[in-house]
Chain A
Amino acid sequence: MAFYKDGWTRRRLLTTGAGLTAGLAMPHVFTRGAWAQDQAFCNNPSGSTVTLGFNVPQSGPYADEGADELRAFQLAVKHLNGEGDGGMLSTMKPSNLKGNGILGKKVAFVTGDTQTKSDAARASAKRMIEADKAIMISGGSSSGVAVAVQSLCQDMGVIFMAGLTHSNDTTGKDKRRYGFRHFFNAYMSGEALGPILAEEYGKDRRAYHLTADYTWGWTQEESIKNATEALGWETVQAVRTPLGAGDFSQYLTPVLNSGADVLILNHYGGDMVNSLRQAVTQFDMRSKQANGKDFQIVVPLFSELMAQGAGEAVKGILGTANWDWKLDNEATKAFSKSFGEEFGSPPSQAAHTCYVQTLLYANAAETAGTFYPPELIKALEGFEFDGMGNGPTLYRAEDHQCFKDVLVVRGKQEPTNQFDLMEIVKVVPRDEVTYDASIFGGELGPYDAKQC
């Protein structure tokens, strides 16, 4: 009865049905592009919103860093949706961002807690992909976590825009087609820091390494060792310390009697705060002499949050950083301004990286005109951009590593305010830290989109 009312006839119903069947049965070749891009990939957003998954440490030793990353993500989403002052949306070049979401869809986000543990991070990323339908995962504050989540994302066909991860492995032996890293790595730290170390401390030095015993620590130790040995330094000893050791005194006591005159702390987070403070304020190492020279301490990877934790101990210590809010360029000012006005403090380098990664993902989707990951990946691979705070930057296609200037920084002797803990010693140009993609091995793997 209803059919007649709506103007349907039995004949019409039959022809429509037949037509539909024919359409569905049509050779795949005619429809492949449209079909694949519209349907066959994990979490293709169907409604008016697109969901991003921000996986950051909300508990555990890096919780403060995670909180800062989360602030940056919130800000990025706000700017992408056309709210607020736009931040780097107005400085990024080239940019296809429109300030109306991504591909016209409003950006929503969900968050997960990595706890800085690989298994917890994978579980929360999986939940965000499966239950919350996140189309992209970003964040993290440890290379162990980044490597684990990146490989999960590859398996599930979801793009991973890594947050703070500094191990060479992330874009080296563990690189993945679906993973991208904006942050610099240990190799670049070594290349940038080496010449400054030779300049400041001379070419005849004997180094003692204390190294956090996981992927990041190992690659950093190797990179700094290679860089300093190339300058003529000798490595006396390299000792691995358990992650989260807390008290490092049993590893510090042998240092002064080892014949070394430089201590290199391949530590991050709480480990770095503790080992540096103990070496400086308790073992008095910086006032000691060894081999007729002043004893020195180097922390190759620096961060503002850790400088706060280390207090006085950080003064005069050399290290490297990915970015600093005091950099003098338009993009940095625009980002620091909107972040500072929103949250009352300057953004950390972890926050900067997470913000930039979100914008880069959104821009790649706009450029590709689709969320279909293989097309989006191609838009990111080899993408050359500027106006994101680090000068001209390249997302290298071969290993998905960003190449940009690296900062050599030093703990400031006379801070003028509570955020002024590091001074920029040198901005090392991108060319000097660029390396051959093949040296760290690894395979990116296939582009293939997946159903999840």
Chain B
Amino acid sequence: MDAIILQILNGLDKGGAYALIALGLTLIFGTLGVVNFAHGALFMLGAFCAVAFSMVLSISERVRDESVTFFEAYKEVPYLEIWFGETGRTILDWSVPLSMLLAIPFMLLVGLAMERGLIRYFYKRSHAEQILVTFGLAIVLQEIVKHYFGANPIPMTAPPAFAGSADVGQWFGIPGLSYPMWRIIYFLFSLAVIGAVFAFLQLTTFGMVVRAGMADRETVGLLGINIGRKFSIVFGLAAVVAGLAGVMYTPILSPNYHLGMDFLVLSFVVVVVGGMGSLGGAVVAGFLLGILQSFSSMTEIKDIVPGIDQIIIYLVAVVVLLVRPRGLMGRKGVMEA
């Protein structure tokens, strides 16, 4: 029982990340018809917004360690701590959530620049060409990040209030069951973002136009609505969602420049399983695959089918596509000529 609850929790936080990335991918695909292989890189850029933000906050006074003679060895004390004492320390501790202040405008800009500067020239091209150009862009972004931040993972910490693990056993009446606090926060955060995106699309006029555009772009255009501009904002929005997912993921997984690629393939599987162009499908499939992946790495299951944890997602994708070729919640006519 303990193990099952833990693995469900585990699947939920993992699924949260998959769902957020897949949601943005689906938004872009549904509105612009572009297969965006640079979406993982946007997730990674978000994570590095957090890294950059906390680096700026923790610019430090360096005190030279005189006992070391061959090179510059020093001990660092952040200026924030020197100037503001305890308050400065608290700001530093909360740098990850605070870095959303940087990530939101930055990712919006990156998204808009990407769409206006590159992607829009590929709307009328084949999917293969879109994949090539976006994949190339992803590699360029990766290398830029590697140049400035190195290849090693960079440790990021959650605010002390959410560090360590929470006694989840209490909530379920099972003693001695604990799970990392920040991962629970991440799951709740992903639900909030997903809720906000859906609310935005369902409740605002802008969202209505976008949904109409997703259904029939041509007609909406004929009605005199500048759907192109709306869609570039959607691209920016998808970039922000991916970026925020990345920011909040940093305390879970120390970010390195390769982070996006690790998520990209999985997210595409999520989109395909959920159904191309279906936002709900992307979210459901994200959580579903996250949980399945967690369960398949339980030793009891690995003892029966060795290596299942590494192939389960692809196995499920194959089965789903055989039974429901359009994915779990796919609509007719998407990606079908």
Contact = CB atoms under 8 A, between A and B. Distances in A.
Given A63-B146, A254-B299, A416 B180 contact: no
Interface in A26-64: 59-64
B267 interface: no
Interface stretch (B22-30, B66-74, B314-322): B66-74
Nearest to B146: A63
A274 B179 CA distance: 17
B72 A281 contact: no
A329 to B, nearest CB: 15
Contacts of A418: 73-76
Contacts, number: 143
B155 A309 contact: yes
A95 B3 CA distance: 60
Given A237-B299, A250-B309, A419-B73, A64 B164 contact: no
B151 A249 contact: no
Contacts of B258: 60-61
Contacts of B297: 250-251
B157 interface: yes
A402 to B, nearest CB: 25
B254 A282 contact: no
Interface string B57-73: 00000000101111111
Contacts of B164: 281-282, 284, 287
A66 to B, nearest CB: 8
Nearest to A285: B165
A256 B178 contact: yes
A343 B71 CA distance: 8
A305 interface: yes
Interface in B255-275: 256, 258-259, 262
A94 interface: no
Interface residues of A, number: 52
B70 A249 contact: no
B6 interface: yes
Contact of B151 (A60, A257, A277, A312): A60
A216 to B, nearest CB: 18
Given A60-B151, A273-B155, A309-B153, A249 B165 contact: no
A98 to B, nearest CB: 26
Interface string B262-302: 10000000000000000000000000000001100111001
Interface stretch (B7-15, B99-107, B199-207): B7-15
A420 interface: yes
Given A61-B151, A250-B297, A416-B65, A282 B71 contact: no
18 contacts: A62-B151, A250-B309, A253-B10, A253-B294, A254-B3, A256-B178, A270-B256, A278-B253, A282-B180, A287-B164, A310-B155, A312-B155, A313-B155, A340-B71, A416-B65, A416-B73, A416-B75, A419-B68
Interface of A: 59-64, 67, 237, 239, 242, 244, 246-247, 249-251, 253-254, 256-257, 270, 273-274, 277-278, 281-284, 287, 305, 308-313, 336-337, 339-341, 343-346, 415-420
Given A61-B256, A256-B178, A312-B155, 10 more contacts: A64-B151, A247-B14, A250-B11, A253-B179, A284-B165, A309-B153, A313-B155, A340-B70, A344-B71, A419-B68
